[in-house]
C-alpha cells in the first residue's frame, strides 16, 4: 500500500512540478526576450512619460504593446502583477518530489546498494540536502563579493562555472549516478528560486515602496535583481537537462559521468546564450551570436561520439566496475562465446542486484524478481531496462558488468528460459 501511495504522490507532484516549471521558465524567457527586443519609443507622449523601450507584437489574434519605463511610470498603478509564485511553487513541488522519490527511500536511491562500507541512509540524506544549501551559500557569496566589481559579470560567471564543476565531481563520487544528476539539477534550481526569494522580489518591493513614498530609488536593487535574473536564465537549460537525464542510463552510468554532466550543462548554457543575444543582434546591438550556438552544438556532437556504443566484436571482455560494486558471479565460457543461456546462469545476477528492490520485502512498481517465474513474467521489462536503456540496477547501473548484461541479453533473445 505504501508503494501505491508513493506512486500517486510521485505522479501528482511531478505533474504539478512540470506545470509550474513551464510557467516559471516561460515567463523568464519572455522577459529576457522582451528586454533584448525593446526599441526606443516613437510616440512623443510615451517619451514624456519616461518610456525608454517598447515592443509591438501580435498573438492569438490580438495586438500587444508592452512598454518599459526608465525608472517608473508617472503614477504607480493600484495593482501590480508580481512574478514569484511560479518560482516558489516550482521549488516547493520539486522538493516534495525529491523527498517522495529519493529521500523517502534513501537506502535504495541515494546509497550504493552493494557497498557495505558506504554511507548510511541518514548520512546520504544529510549530504544531499547539504548540496542544496552549501552551493547556494557559496554562489551567493561570489555574487555579493565580486558581482559589483569591474568586469564583475565575467568574474562571477567563471567562478560559478568552477563551482558547478566541483559540485558535479563530488556528487558523482558520493551518490549513485542517477541521484547525482538529479541532485545537481535540484541544487542549481534551489539557487534559482533563492535568487527570486532573497534578492529579486525583496529588491522590487523596496523600489515600489520608495516610489510610493516619493523617495529616491537606490539603483542597486535593480542592478542586483537584473544580475540574478540573468543568472537564472543561463541556469535553466542545464537544470532541465539534469532533470531529464534520469531516463537515460548510458549518461549517468558512464564511468566519467561527472564529466558528461559538466559538458552537457555547458552546452545548454552556451545555446541559451545564443538565444539571449540573437534578438539584440537583429536590432543591431551586438555581433551575431552564432559562435555560442556552434560551440554548444559541437560539445553535444562530441559527447554523442564519445558515448556511442562499442561494436560487440571489438568490445572488451568486461568493463571495469566501480570501486563500490560488489563481487559478481563468474561468466561461463560458453556464455562469453555467445552460447545458449538459461536461468541457471542469469539467476544469480537478479538475486545479487535486483532482489533488494524487487523481492518479498520491497516490490517496487509491483515487480518481484526473487523467483524464476517472476523473472520470466517480467522478461521484456528486464530486457528493456537492463539491456536497451541500461538503467538498472537503479541508482548503480555500473555494478552490472558488460558480460553480465550480454548474458541477460542472450537469455532473453533465446527465449527467457526458466531452467
Q: What's the average model confidence in pLDDT over 115-127?
A: 83
Tell me the per-residue pLDDT of 145-195, one tens digit each, with 9 for 90 and over: 998 888 889 999 999 999 999 999 999 999 988 899 999 999 999 999 999
pLDDT at 44 over 70: yes
The residue among 124 and 286 whose pLDDT is bigger is 124
pLDDT at residue 54 in the model: 95
Q: How far is Cα 234 from Cα 209, in angstroms, rounded to an integer?
A: 30
pLDDT at 412 over 50: yes
pLDDT at 340 over 80: no
Q: What's the average model confidence in pLDDT over 218-243?
A: 92
Under the phi-then-psi rule, with left for phi > 0, alpha for psi from -120 to 50, and beta for the rest, what region is 117? alpha
Average pLDDT, the chain: 85
Largest CA distance in the chain: 87
Q: CB count, 10 Å around CB of 63?
A: 8
pLDDT at residue 352 in the model: 86
Angle between helices 257-282 and 219-244 (to 10 degrees): 130
Under the phi-then-psi rule, with left for phi > 0, alpha for psi from -120 to 50, and beta for the rest, what region is 314? alpha
Q: What's the average model confidence in pLDDT over 250-262?
A: 89
pLDDT at 321 over 50: no
Question: Which long-range contacts (C-beta less than 8 Å, at least 24 apart) are formed by 208-211?
Answer: 208/76, 208/80, 211/72, 211/76
CB 41 within 8 A of CB 51: yes
Burial, 409: exposed, middle or buried (Cβ in 10 Å; 0-12, 13-18, 19+)?
A: middle
CB 107 within 8 A of CB 121: yes
pLDDT at residue 371 in the model: 86
DSSP code per residue over 137-149: HHHHHHHHHHTTS
β-partners of residue 67 are: 54
Give the residue extent of every domain in the chain.
2-307, 332-413
Peptide bond connecting 393 to the previous residue in cis, omega within 30 degrees of 0: yes
Which alpha helices (H) appear in 104-218, and where do they start and end? 106-109, 121-146, 152-174, 177-195, 201-212
pLDDT at 324 over 60: no
Confidence band, pLDDT 50/70/90 cuts, at residue 318 = very low
Which alpha helices (H) appear in 38-84, and where do they start and end? 44-48
pLDDT at residue 124 in the model: 93
- 62 phi/psi in degrees, rounded to 5: -125, 160
The residue among 208 and 323 whose pLDDT is bigger is 208
Total residue count of the chain as it appears in this document: 419
> What is the pTM (predicted TM-score) of this model?
0.76
Q: What percent of the chain has pLDDT over 70?
A: 88
Amino acid at each position: 500500500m505504501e508503494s501505491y501511495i508513493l506512486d500517486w504522490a510521485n505522479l501528482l507532484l511531478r505533474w504539478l512540478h512540470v506545470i509550474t516549471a513551464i510557467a516559471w521558465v516561460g515567463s523568464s524567457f519572455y522577459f529576457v526576450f522582451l528586454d533584448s527586443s525593446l526599441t526606443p519609443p516613437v510616440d512623443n507622449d510615451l517619451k514624456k512619460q519616461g518610456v525608454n523601450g517598447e515592443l509591438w507584437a501580435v498573438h492569438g489574434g490580438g495586438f500587444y504593446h508592452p512598454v518599459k519605463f526608465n525608472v517608473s511610470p508617472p503614477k504607480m498603478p493600484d495593482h501590480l502583477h508580481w512574478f514569484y509564485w511560479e518560482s516558489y511553487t516550482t521549488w516547493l513541488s520539486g522538493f516534495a518530489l525529491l523527498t517522495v522519490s529519493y529521500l523517502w527511500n534513501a537506502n535504495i536511491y541515494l546509497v550504493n546498494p552493494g557497498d557495505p562500507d558506504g554511507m548510511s541512509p541518514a548520512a546520504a540524506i544529510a549530504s544531499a540536502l547539504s548540496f542544496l544549501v552549501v552551493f547556494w551559500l557559496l554562489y551567493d557569496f561570489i555574487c555579493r563579493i565580486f558581482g559589483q566589481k569591474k568586469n564583475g559579470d565575467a568574474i562571477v560567471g567563471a567562478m560559478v562555472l568552477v563551482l558547478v564543476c566541483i559540485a558535479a565531481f563530488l556528487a558523482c563520487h558520493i551518490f549513485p549516478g542517477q541521484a547525482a544528476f538529479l541532485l545537481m539539477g535540484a541544487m542549481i534550481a534551489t539557487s534559482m528560486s533563492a535568487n527570486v526569494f532573497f534578492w529579486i522580489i525583496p529588491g522590487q518591493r523596496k523600489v515600489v515602496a520608495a516610489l510610493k513614498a516619493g523617495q529616491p530609488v537606490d539603483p542597486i536593487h535593480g542592478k542586483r535583481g537584473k544580475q540574478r535574473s540573468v543568472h537564472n536564465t543561463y541556469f535553466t537549460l542545464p537544470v532541465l537537462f539534469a532533470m531529464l537525464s534520469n531516463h537515460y542510463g548510458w549518461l549517468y552510468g558512464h564511468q566519467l559521468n561527472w564529466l558528461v554532466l559538466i559538458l552537457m550543462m555547458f552546452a545548454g548554457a552556451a545555446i541559451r546564450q545564443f538565444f539571449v543575444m540573437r534578438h539584440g543582434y537583429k536590432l543591431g546591438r551586438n555581433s551575431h551570436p552564432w559562435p555560442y550556438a556552434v560551440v554548444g552544438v559541437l560539445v553535444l556532437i562530441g559527447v554523442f561520439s564519445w558515448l556511442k556504443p562499442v561494436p560487440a566484436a571489438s568490445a572488451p571482455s568486461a568493463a571495469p566496475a566501480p570501486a563500490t560494486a560488489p563481487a559478481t558471479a563468474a561468466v561461463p565460457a560458453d556464455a562469453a562465446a555467445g552460447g545458449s543461456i538459461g536461468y541457471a546462469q542469469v539467476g544469480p545476477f537478479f538475486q545479487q542486484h535486483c532482489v533488494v528492490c524487487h523481492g518479498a520485502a520491497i516490490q517496487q512498481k509491483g515487480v518481484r524478481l526473487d523467483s524464476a517465474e517472476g523473472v520470466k513474467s517480467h522478461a521484456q521489462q528486464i530486457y528493456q531496462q537492463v539491456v536497451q536503456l541500461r538503467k538498472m540496477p537503479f541508482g548503480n547501473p555500473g555494478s552490472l558488468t558488460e558480460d553480465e548484461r550480454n548474458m541477460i541479453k542472450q537469455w532473453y533473445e533465446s527465449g527467457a528460459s526458466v531452467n
